[in-house]
Amino acid sequence: MTHFTLSPPKAGVDKAKTEAKGSSANPAPLWLLIAIVVGLGLVLSYTRVLAVWDKGTFFDSDDAMRLVQVRALLHGQHWFDMTAYRLDPPHGVFMHWSRIVDLPLAFLIKSFGLFLSPAMAERATRIVFPVALQAFLYLGMARIAKSLIGQSAVIPALILTLLSGMELGQFQPGRIHHSAPQIMLSIFMLACLIEAFDAKRAYRAAIAGALMALSLAIGLETLPLIAMLIALTVAIWIVRGADLQRPLGFLGMGLGIALPLAFFSTVGPKHWFDTVCDAYSPVYLVTGIAGAVVLGGLALATPRLATLSARVVAACCAAAVVIGAACAIKPVCFIDPYHGIDPLVRSIWLNNVVEGFSMPRLFRQDAGAAVMLMLPVCFGLGASTFALARTRGLAQQRWVMLVGMTLASVGLSVWMIRMTSYAILISLFGAVWLILSLRDALTRTKWRELAPLALCLILPFSAIGWALVIPTKSDAADWREGTGCLTSSAFAPLAQLAPGLVAAPLDAGAHMLVFTPNSVLTAPYHRDNIGNRAWFDAMLAPPDEARGILAAHHVTYVMTCAGLGETKALAKRAPHGFAAALLSSHVPDWLTPVPEPGPYHVFTLKR
């Protein structure tokens, strides 16, 4: 009788067998494996590469706005001055971003500018930057796979990462905003903490703490994941005690040093005491330092906390200190970082940003897309939980961290689909474990020749695999229609107009700034409260009232584009308003049409 059981994959090859096989047993260099999967990713995304290189296409407003900020830095705007002066002038809008991502982009543009024109240097940068981040992401994924399972896990992990679709999403050529760097940093945080559970590598927890501070300085998107990483480390310390003393202390040290360094290197003196909720500010600095101090305190007190109950009490006291620090400054920041946005702007725009949808809302709108995103994550969670149950010792501690982070990322994805970018990557290690365990189990049976077929399990654990079989509401037609308004060719004639202030749908704002010399009243950014509210007020008001609103803001041009559905939505909301008039043949007489080729309808205001 053949017995078929799954057991943890073999961590390595017997030394004698390795010597017998000679150099052929040596694994391929990691850099070569990464180069191969990066190349395969470029093949999958080559249409995006061509669109960026040939046409300068932007696939997202944030990438266009990021380039606007980088150009300002290169033209002498101060490091600490994040004001977008051409957005709702004359004062502009102080953005909630930092210069951290701008720095490598500026360096690449200047470097490529040594042998390319300025426009082509920017395009080269927009291709190279996300591809470089892909390589770093693969490196982080390989490190986690090797720590959890062994050297044999590296290749399956790289393949699953490729098939996660990240090269077609946040890491696609052309994307230069903060999401990809933060996803990559999150993977390295997890890698460093998992490695730090080995007493000889406890210092890597300090590196994880430094990466957490760096990520927070880039943006707050990873704050929930960072909090969960710290909480899980403390939870494992509660159970393991002295085994986690040094990693806990190093994590606190890394945070304690890096958090203030990140703050003072990215936030100017004028804003040191601004308790804003949507960017790295004293709200998060003080809370983070409190967390770093209590982590160090728990580590120092570990020898005196010999029992589980004592460590539970100490951890609860530590949590109370951190929560107290958060509540003492501005607790609303941890509930709703966007609490200051205008209610009308929130209801019309922010609440309808797709990446902010909950998973149930996405399921109601496009069940296929929701299932395609969640199936590999849920399968990965199940496989990771199985791996946790089958491992012991140090490996089990590492899987506890991995399963905990998978659970957290799944929960966050249900709350906001943007977080699926993290969940898909974190969950795939369970798939790697299962694939290798199945392969090893098959090699011990009479079906050993079928062992390589275990790799077929990759497809059920990959988003691309499910995308091949699950029908979704294709938004390709809507995308083509919308991007017809957002291509470089659409803005070319607008760049020839005399510079002025443009009032146009929000999604056109950042593209207008990057492709033309015009200023804009609106853009899809929550800090543009005044400009966005003025635009919505004007579009919803009767035409005569709209004229006064636009004139008060010194608007030069009013522009609409049929491919952007915002004007239609506003006309539906106010059938007798200005938006409805623009869509009808009853254009107000205080607007003068400007004949321009292209998809935009352009009007000037009569003074």
Assign a CATH topology to domain 480-605. Rossmann fold (3.40.50)
Give the pairing type, strands 501-503 and 557-561. Answer: parallel
Q: Work out the angle between the directed axes of helices 543-552 and 529-540 (0-180°, nearest 10).
A: 160
Maximum mean pLDDT: which of 306-315, 463-472, 585-594: 306-315
Quickly state the pLDDT bin for 248 (edges 50, 70, 90): very high
Higher pLDDT, 399 or 440: 399
* pLDDT for position 460: 86
Task: Give mean pLDDT, residues 151-174.
Answer: 92
Asked if residue 19 has pLDDT above 60, the reply is no
pLDDT tens column, 81-112? 999 999 999 999 999 999 999 999 999 999 99
Q: For residue 475, what is the DSSP state?
A: -
Judge contact between 295 and 255, C-beta under 8 A.
yes
Spatial separation of the C-alpha atoms in residues 160 and 398, rounded to whole Å: 20
Question: Which backbone phi and psi does 605 adopt, to 5 degrees?
Answer: -85, 130
Asked if residue 24 has pLDDT above 50, the reply is no
* pLDDT for position 413: 94
Using alpha carbons, list the distances in angstroms from residue 500 to 306, 495, 517, 592, 595: 70, 10, 8, 15, 17
* pLDDT for position 6: 59
Asked if residue 1 has pLDDT above 50, the reply is no
Return the C-alpha torsion angle 498, 510, 345, 558, nearest 10: 20
> What are the sequence ranges of the domains in the chain?
178-340, 342-473, 480-605
* pLDDT for position 441: 81
Give the pairing type, strands 519-520 and 501-503. Answer: parallel
* pLDDT for position 483: 54
Task: Give mean pLDDT, residues 464-491.
Answer: 71
* Residue 206 DSSP SS3: helix
Judge contact between 506 and 522, C-beta under 8 A.
yes
Judge contact between 558 and 504, C-beta under 8 A.
yes
* pLDDT for position 586: 83
Judge contact between 168 and 216, C-beta under 8 A.
no
Q: What is the pTM of this model?
A: 0.93
What DSSP element (H or E) covers 594? strand 591-594
Asked which of 110-114, 229-233, 479-483, 548-552 is least confident by mean pLDDT, the reply is: 479-483
Q: How far is Cα of residue 473 from the mean position of the Cα atoms in its chain?
A: 24
